[in-house]
Amino acid sequence: MKQLHFDSDYMEGAHPEIIKKLAKINFDKIVGYGTDEYCKSAARKIREAFECPNAGVHFLVGGTQTNKVVIASFLRPYEAVIAADTGHIATHESGAIENSGHKVITLPNDNAKLKASAVLEYMKDFEEHCNPTHTTIPAMVYISQPTETGTLYSLEELKALRAVCDAYDLKFFVDGARLGYAFAAPTNDIMMKDLAELADVFYIGGTKIGALFGEAVVIKDPEKIRYFRTPIKQNGALLAKGWLLGVQFDVLFTDQLYLNISKNAIDRAMELKQGLLNKGYTFYCESFTNQQFVILPDEKLNDFNQHVTSTFWEKVDDTHTAIRLVTSWATTSDEIEQLLSLL
């Protein structure tokens, strides 16, 4: 039996339409640094999809890079960003945000989510007891949709965060490295235009959903960061062949390809989830997106690991371990079946 791979959603290349397109235009000569027609077209399609005709759209290469450029561009040097303690910028980016000079203020997560109530409490306490001379000024709220453990913000939760941001003059930034997988989730109640209305800035992940690489940043009020392309360049995030990004997002946002292939990952994840439930397994947390965190008895794990790559998550007790299984736009039902047959 062939080795199965469920350790991440960035293991395949790109959707075949993208590969085809790249091959087709390979010898066209295209102007550099994202000033080409593909980027313009992709930006137009994204503005249409999210119903934000005045938004600024920029294409970057990867997630950490995008988080760093956005945060560094929106904040003044003495301002900080608030995140859940499980937030990607707080845990898995090698101090990229701090490296740009900004403190990440971490608040306890609730199922990997940052609750509006937690931010509110922090801001109240900040205003009452903190001396803004001796502490950094919280100026931005960062969340991931879906979160790092696959949970989802509801529309109500998003609106509550927006309200706190409005009350305390905080920017609202949504990391959408897996954004498509949120929109495709059965429990999702947020529409694309909701996100564009509620967030000051968010990005649409391509790396994990159908592209070779690439993240599309959407800025609600582009006048606020007049020269956003400059920090992109300054952070080494401006691709000479920017059209590589434009082409990919242009394909992904044609005929709803992005949503359709996201849906595949979710459908496969739900098959996996149901199959595991049927076999009596329990879960570390409940997820309706493409990351499933199942608890396995350690005695099964050794054998399982011979055939499947996955991610160790946590020792649950002396004899059980939670592991992460990730589906992607490219996962097949056949692979799910094979996986289930091992358990």
Interaction of residue 40 with a second copy, rule CB under 8 A: no
For the beta carbon of residue 239, count every other beta carbon within 10 angstroms. Answer: 19
The pair of three-digit structure tokens given for residue 62, joined into one six-digit string:
């990867």
List binders of a second copy among 197-226 (CB under 8 A): 207-208, 212-213
Residue closer to a second copy (CB basis): 33 or 283 = 33
Per-residue contact flags (x/-) with a second copy for residues 74 to 113, judged by CB under 8 A: --xxx-x----------xxxxxx-xxxxxxx---------
Q: How far is the CB of 98 from a second copy (least distance, A)?
A: 4
Residue closer to a second copy (CB basis): 50 or 168 = 168
Q: How far is the CB of 296 from a second copy (least distance, A)?
A: 18
Provide the 3-class DSSP secondary structure of residue 127. Answer: helix
List binders of a second copy among 267-326 (CB under 8 A): 309, 312
Tokens 């490295």 locate to 177
Compute CA distances 98 → 60, 72, 105, 281, whole Å. Answer: 20, 10, 11, 40
Rounded-to-integer distance, Cα 308 and Cα 294, Å: 14
Q: How far is the CB of 60 from a second copy (least distance, A)?
A: 8
List binders of a second copy among 151-190 (CB under 8 A): none
Interaction of residue 244 with a second copy, rule CB under 8 A: yes
List binders of a second copy among 42-71 (CB under 8 A): 61-69
Residue closer to a second copy (CB basis): 159 or 320 = 320
Q: How many Cα atoms occupy the beta-carbon half-sphere of 273 within 13 Å?
A: 21
List binders of a second copy among 132-151 (CB under 8 A): 132-137
Rounded-to-integer distance, Cα 266 and Cα 270, Å: 6
Rounded-to-integer distance, Cα 52 and Cα 222, Å: 12
Q: How many residues does the chain have?
A: 343
